Structure 1
C-alpha cells in the first residue's frame, strides 16, 4: 500500500496540533505567556507549590526544559522558586500575587479554548479520542 502525504495519521495530528497551538498562542500573547509556560501555570493554578520534577512528570518534559520555563516565568513575576527544606536539590514553584491574578484572566480563555476544540463532540467521542491518542502514544513509546 502506497500512502500519500495526506494519508499519514501522524501528519493529520501534527497539522491539527499546529492549528491548536497557533490559536492558543494568539490568545495568550497579550499576557506575555507562551503555550508551554501556560501548561505550568495551569498546574500551579490547580495546586500551588508543586516541585519542578512533579511538573516535568505531568507534562512529559525533561528537567532542563522545566527549569528554563520556570526561570522565564519567575522573571516575568508570575511564580517564585524555592528550594525544599528537606531536599535542597528539589525546587518548588509558587504563584506570586501577579501569577494568581493572571489565572483569573487566563482560566476563562482556556475554558473557552477547550469548548471551541471540543465543539460537536459527544462525551463518548471525547473519551474514545483520549483512548485512541493514549494508544498511539504507547505504540510509539515502546520504540523509544
Structure 2
C-alpha cells in the first residue's frame, strides 16, 4: 500500500489543512481555533467544569486550564468555584464572549460550507459516521 492510501495519512493531511484554514477564519477575532472550540461548546451550554470542557473539546486538562486562563484575561469567560467542591471550577461566558457569537458564527458557518462543498447531505452524514467508527476503533489502543 502506498503512503497516501493509509487512512491515518489522509486524515492527518486533511486535519493540517483544515486547522490552517479555520485558524485563518478565526484570526481576525484574535482567538485560536482551540479557543473557538471552547466558545462553541459554551455557546451551547455554560457552567461546565474545566474537566467537562476538556472532554468535549478533546483537550488535556493542563492545556484547557492554560487556554481558559488566557480567555479569562481577555474577558471572554469567567470561572466560578463550585460551592460543593472547591477544587472544581465552572466556566461561564462574559457578555463579550456571548456577543462574539454573533460576529464569529457567520464566518464559521461559511467556512464549514466551503469544506463540505461538493458533498451531498447523505455523504456528509456517512463521512461523520465513518470517522466516528474509526475513532472508536482506535481510541483505546
TM-score (norm 1): 0.91
SS in structure 1 of the partner of residue 87 of structure 2: coil
Aligned length: 141
After TM superposition, the structure 1 stretch with the greater mean CA deviation from structure 2, 59-68 or 129-138, is: 59-68
Task: Tell me the CA shift for residue 51 of structure 1.
Answer: 1.4
1:90 — aligned with what?
A: 88
The unaligned stretches of length 5 or more in structure 1 are: none
Task: Tell me the CA shift for residue 129 of structure 1.
Answer: 0.7
SS in structure 1 of the partner of residue 83 of structure 2: coil
Task: Tell me the CA shift for residue 121 of structure 1.
Answer: 1.6
1:126 — aligned with what?
A: 124
- Post-superposition CA distance 1:15-47 (Å, at most 9, x none): 111111111111111111000111001111112
Task: Tell me the CA shift for residue 60 of structure 1.
Answer: 2.3
Q: Which runs of 4 or more aligned residues in structure 1 lie more than 6 Å from their structure 2 counterparts after TM superposition?
A: none
Q: Aligned partners of 2:8, 2:74: CA distance in 1, in Å?
A: 35
TM-score (norm 2): 0.93
The unaligned stretches of length 5 or more in structure 2 are: none
Task: Tell me the CA shift for residue 11 of structure 1.
Answer: 1.1
Q: Aligned partners of 2:72, 2:87: CA distance in 1, in Å?
A: 18
Q: Aligned partners of 1:90, 1:31: CA distance in 2, in Å?
A: 29
Q: Aligned partners of 1:4, 1:119: CA distance in 2, in Å?
A: 27
